[in-house]
Amino acid sequence: MARDDSAAGTVVVAFVLGAITGAAVALLLAPASGEETRRVLADKAREGRERAAEAAKQGREFVNRQRDTLSSAIDRGREAYEQARSGATRPATGGGEPL
């Protein structure tokens, strides 16, 4: 499951980087003044930074949720193990030997 998430993330990152690179090349090759091109590139860079910051924030939130879920699952597993362990050492009803 983690492998699928990682592959999907890699594809998304590659797509975004390709889109940014394509946009930069298009802007550099388009007939516009140097000042205009620099302004457009600065605007696109700012938008890219904002998107990257948002993606990083969402990634951190996702990791935190998954960590909480995993921690909860580990705690429940530990409790179930302790219950099973303590139940296995108690004498069985009916006077039999402990398991």
Going from the C-alpha of 53 to that of each of 19, 56, 60, the distances in angstroms are 17, 5, 11
Task: Give residue 2's pLDDT band: very low, low, confident or very high (50, 70, 90).
Answer: very low
Q: How far apart are the first and last CA of the chain?
A: 37
pTM beyond 0.75: the answer is: no
pLDDT exceeds 60 at position 7: yes
Q: Which residue has the tokens 């921690």?
A: 71
pLDDT exceeds 60 at position 96: no
Q: What is the pLDDT of residues 38-87, one digit of tens each?
A: 888 889 889 988 988 898 899 889 988 899 999 999 999 999 999 998 87
What does the DSSP 8-state code read for residue 92?
P
65: burial class by Cβ within 10 Å (0-12, 13-18, 19+)? exposed
pLDDT of residue 94: 53
The two counts, helices (H) then strands (E), for the chain are 2, 0
The ranges assigned to domains in the chain are 2-87
Number of Cα atoms under 13 Å in the Cβ half of residue 87: 6
